Amino acid sequence: MKQLYLALFLLSSSSLSAQVYEDAEDGSTQRWIISDNKPAKASIKNISLNDNKVIKLSGKRTKNEYMLGGINSENGWNDLDNDSLKWDMKFSEYFAIYIPIETENGIRYLIYTAKNKSTGLRGKYIHIGLGKKLKNGEMHTIKRNIQEDLQRFDRSNELIGINGFIVRGSGEIDNVETSASSESNNNIANNTNLILQSFSANNIKSTQAEIRILGQNIASYQVEYGENENLGLFSEKVEGITQNNASQILFTSLNDLKAKQQYFFKVQLFDSENQQILSETKTFTTKEAVQDNAINLSLTSSTIQNITAKTVKLGFQFNEPIKSFQIKYGTTENLDKETRKKENIQVQSLSESIASLQPNTKYFYQVLASDNTNNNFVSPLQEFTTQNANVEEVNDPTFRIESLIIFTIDSLEAQTIATLYGAETAELQYSEEATFQNVLTAESLLTNRGLKQSLFSKLTGLKANTKYFYRVRAVNDEQKEIFSETKTFTSRK
């Protein structure tokens, strides 16, 4: 028997046509907030410009921040139906425009600046240069396909929704709106509001696959599949689905499949009036059969690679490749929070970062993983303690640590070089402990070449054949502090 399950999520959504979030014509600024008012006296005004209303943002360069919408689906637009963004802008100085988006791998920020080059993905930030001409004091219309910009640097990721529009810099903004980049390609039935937005095969195993459907006004649906283009096999038809003009995510599980076999499939949707949509045909291939002589999955090492007041980066090594991974954590042993589950990853070692933590707080965590033979692993409880809240996170692309490398290692000394931007002071810290409880500071020299800076450091007094953790600490002219990723080296014997 083909087993089938349904998970239905009703998500707030806007129309598939262009969604206008700001055109300034009503004379209001109420849709905006000043999200960073340090230094004070930043302002948002609605003014007339060339017989048109625009939003004027005024502050101290990129130090002030202004937000339209929000950062996540709870406080932002939660625009699930559109994948393109357009806006008008007039700037005479450097700016950074952040677009917070929800993706299958968590929140990402697309950062558009007046640079000629794009530096791509760094953590959850994707930097895209739009060119220096955009700060020439003239009005420009910018159109971006958010899905394409995401996958240009984060290829395996998928856009779920657009949540907001954040600006650092002083200038004028108008006509902020989203739209579907290819509305004509959407599967929309005639004389009905029935819509198929996308469908795909996920969580593919040797004998099972999950079909994911995203659409609107779906009352019932069915999946047809088979080993060739003639298909011929059907899932059970699911009926009686609740509709309220919101987006729906539906899941169907196909079981009793053959291992290592290509399957063809398509979906058929029906609305309450029995109008229907039949999709195009797609394919997926099941995995090899599970081996009976699988070894037991175990965690061979667990390390704290970096820790701050609000974030921690944990590293793990397993005795064999894993296909799924997740961390559960919390301030008590109940572990009331969890990271997004990673699936079909096929790695033996990996790192996981956890953000939005409380400063100076002990956390408990537990690792959950499975391998290709469906062995499950649950680690014992482990713990870490975040640092004191003496630093403030900085998401300004003009103030960052770009790279850190070590180029000389001896038994007693080592030398490093780092590349930075926007630092007033900088130093290299090192310690025998990943938590930097007993931190040492290297002899360092900070040099400037235009905006680019280099930090040369010499680590002395090392112990022979000893593992060290090292990182760069930088402070800008606002006394905001950032740290580089923590790295390691072992001194020579």
CA dist list (Å): 362 to 18, 164, 341 = 47, 33, 23
Strand partners, 483: 473
Residue 290 — pLDDT band, cuts 50, 70, 90?
A: low
Cβ-contact 319, 369 below 8 angstroms: no
Q: Taking residues 73-78, what's their average pLDDT?
A: 87
Domain 299-385 -> CATH class: mainly beta
Domain 19-179, what architecture? Sandwich (2.60)
The C-alpha angle 323, 160, 313, rounded to 5 degrees, equals 50
Q: Is the pLDDT confidence value at 292 over 60?
A: no
Q: Is the pLDDT confidence value at 391 over 60?
A: no
Cβ-contact 120, 127 below 8 angstroms: yes
**What's the pLDDT score for residue 192?**
53
Q: Is the pLDDT confidence value at 149 over 50?
A: yes
Q: Which two structure tokens, joined as six digits, stand for 396?
A: 């300004």
Nearest to 304 by CA among 213, 223, 383, 422: 383
Please indicate whether residue 460 or residue 8 has the higher confidence score (pLDDT).
460
Pick 400-490's CATH classification: 3.30.70.980, 2.60.40.10, 3.40.1160.10, 1.20.1250.20: 2.60.40.10
- In angstroms, the CA 149 to CA 98 distance is 13
At 212, the amino acid letter reads: R
**What's the pLDDT score for residue 5?**
37
Residue 413 parent element (H or E): none
- In angstroms, the CA 480 to CA 392 distance is 6
The C-alpha angle 241, 242, 245, rounded to 5 degrees, equals 120
Residue 146 parent element (H or E): helix 146-153
DSSP 8-66: -EEE----SS-EEEE--TT---TTEEEEE-SSS--EEEEEE-SSSEEEEEESSGGGSEE
Q: Taking residues 53-61, what's their average pLDDT?
A: 92
Q: Do domains 299-385 and 400-490 have the same CATH topology?
A: yes
pLDDT, tens only, 440-481: 999 988 887 767 889 999 999 899 888 898 999 988 877 788
Residue 153 parent element (H or E): helix 146-153
For the chain, give every domain's residue range.
Answer: 19-179, 186-285, 299-385, 400-490
Greatest distance between any 2 Cα atoms in the chain = 79
Which residues lie below 8 Å from residue 164, measured CB to CB, with a gap of 6+?
A: 67, 68, 69, 70, 71, 76, 77, 99, 100
pTM of this prediction exceeds 0.85: no
CB atoms near residue 95 (< 10 Å) = 22
pLDDT, tens only, 164-174: 999 999 999 99
- In angstroms, the CA 486 to CA 429 distance is 10
**What's the pLDDT score for residue 244?**
54
- In angstroms, the CA 301 to CA 316 distance is 6
- In angstroms, the CA 489 to CA 484 distance is 15
- The domain defined by 186-285 carries CATH number 2.60.40.10: yes
- In angstroms, the CA 65 to CA 255 distance is 51
**What's the pLDDT score for residue 377?**
85
CB atoms near residue 281 (< 10 Å) = 14
The residue whose two tokens read 């903004």 is 173
pLDDT, tens only, 113-148: 988 777 788 888 998 888 888 888 899 888 888 988
Q: Is the pLDDT confidence value at 4 over 80?
A: no
Rg (CA), the chain: 26
